[in-house]
Amino acid sequence: MTSYVWQGRWVPTRDTPQGFDCADSWRHEYGRARGLELHRMRFAAGVGPLPAGMWESALALLDASADLFPRISVYEERFRLDIRPAPPVRESTDLTLVSAPDPRTMPLLKGPDLMRLAEHRRAHAIAGTDDVILGDFAETTTGTLVGWNGRTLVLPEATRLPSTTEALVVERGKKLGCDVAHGVLDPAKPMWFLNALHGISPVRRIVSHTAVVLLPRSPGESEWHSWWRYKQLDF
- pLDDT for 164-189, tens place per residue? 999 999 999 999 999 999 999 999 99
Closest by CA to 221, choosing from 181, 193, 179, 186, is 193
Q: What is the pLDDT of residues 186-196, one digit of tens each?
A: 999 999 999 99
Category of 102 on φ-ψ map: left (φ > 0), alpha (ψ -120 to 50) or beta: beta
**pLDDT, tens digit, for every residue of 193-225?**
999 999 999 999 999 999 999 999 998 899 999
Residue 230 has what pLDDT?
80
High-pLDDT (> 90) share of the chain, %: 96
Mean pLDDT of the 37-46 span: 97
**232 pLDDT above the threshold of 80:** no
Predicted pLDDT of residue 229: 85
Supply the pLDDT for residue 33. 95
pLDDT at 234 (0 to 100):
62
Res. 233: pLDDT tops 90: no
Q: 3-class DSSP state for residue 203? A: strand
A 10 A CB-CB count for 165 gives: 27
Count of H helices and E strands in the chain? 5, 17
Q: Which domains does the chain have, with CATH numbers?
A: 2-83 (3.30.470.10), 93-231 (3.20.10.10)
* pLDDT number for residue 57: 98
Q: What is the pTM of this model?
A: 0.95
3-state secondary structure 53-95: CHHHHHHHCCCCCCEECCEEEEECCEEEEEECECCCCCCCEEE
User: Residue 229 carries which DSSP code?
Assistant: I
